[in-house]
Amino acid sequence: MTTIPQQPARHEQPPLIEIEGLTKRFGAFTAVDDVSFSVKRGEVLGFLGPNGAGKSTTMRMLAGFMIPTSGSARIQGHDVQSDGVAARKVLGFLPEGAPTYPEMTVESFLAFCARIRGYRGSDMQDRVDYALHLTTLRGVRLQPVETLSKGFKRRVGLAQALLHDPPVLVLDEPTDGLDPNQKHEVRLLIERMAPNKAIVISTHILEEVDAVCSRAIVIARGRVVADATPAALAQRHPSGKLEDVFRSLTQEEAA
């Protein structure tokens, strides 16, 4: 089992991500129920939960895309609702399913994102090259996104999130649809970036949490049911397996 070297405690720094009492109701259905947590620089938070538990909804609210029913989220001190543009400037967000404009080439899509983020000329080209390099997309840079395989599309979405080297990364299922080699590459990438960023990744692949996360939050039916290091979490079940802990935590809730 790989462990991530623990970052020295940096109490003097405020958390890069602060979520307080975030709640989202759709009619009578409560998708996210009073979720609070914060993520500091150097932390990689694994966001776990069964499908429909409220992972994507929480991340959408964190990215300022969905308006919470109540509660608030701040990114580097900027409220995502009242100061959204400033918050989104320092955020790299990979939405669920890694949406991209299908008719654009990889390079023109990334150039569009770079330009929107205020880069111009050679700066912009540098940013695009950097993102292409990080996600090993150089070979397909001139191909329209719609002609790419699922794994490549996911990496285009990832490239877009990493392009401006943001201090806060929120990635909704970054390794979904990737083959084992690509998954490994993305995990290495996340590990490399981890010391300088606050990263939240959602996944339902438990080995991934073991591999890259310094902390795991389990969410079930919209509520946080566990918040601990992966190792501490695994010990909650006699078998010592994260899988068993996950099952007991989330099924208990569903029952």
Partner 1 sequence: MRAILIVAGRELRGYFATPVASVFIVIFLVLQGALTFNMGNFFDRGQADLVPFFSFVPWVFLLLIPAITMRLWAEERRLGTIELLLTLPITQGQAVIGKFLAAWAFCAIALALTFPFVIAVNILGQPDNGVIAAGYIGALLVAGAFLSIGAALSAATRNQVIAFVLAVAVCFVFAIASHPVISEFLAKNSPTIGAITRRVAVIDRFGNFTRGIIALRDLIFFATFIGFWLFLNTVLVDQRKAD
Residues that bind partner 1 (CB under 8 A): 60, 63-67, 84-86, 88-89, 91, 93, 95-97, 99-104, 108, 112-113, 115-118, 157, 160
Q: Smallest distance, Å, CB 150 to partner 1? A: 14
Shortest CB 141 distance to partner 1, Å: 17
Q: What is the largest CA-CA distance in the chain?
A: 58
Comparing CA positions, the residue from 134, 169, 150 lying closest to residue 17 is 169
User: Least separation, in Å, of the C-beta of 42 and partner 1?
Assistant: 24
Nearest-5° Cα angle at 189, 15 to 108? 100
Residues composing the chain = 255
CA distance 30 to 32: 6
CB of 185 to partner 1, least distance (A): 22
Tokens of 145: 């996104």
Closer by beta carbon to partner 1, 67 or else 188: 67
Nearer to partner 1, 25 or 247 (CB): 25
Task: State which residue, 87 or 234, has the beta carbon closest to partner 1.
Answer: 87
Query: CA-to-CA distance for 114 and 206, rounded, in angstroms?
Result: 33
Closer Cβ to partner 1, 108 or 235, answer by number: 108
Amino acid residing at 161: A
In what helix (H) or strand (E) does residue 183 lie, and over which residues does it extend?
A: helix 180-193
- Structure-block tokens of residue 94: 């990979």
Nearer to partner 1, 89 or 223 (CB): 89
Query: To the nearest whole angstrom, how small is the minimum distance from the Cβ of residue 124 to partner 1?
Result: 11
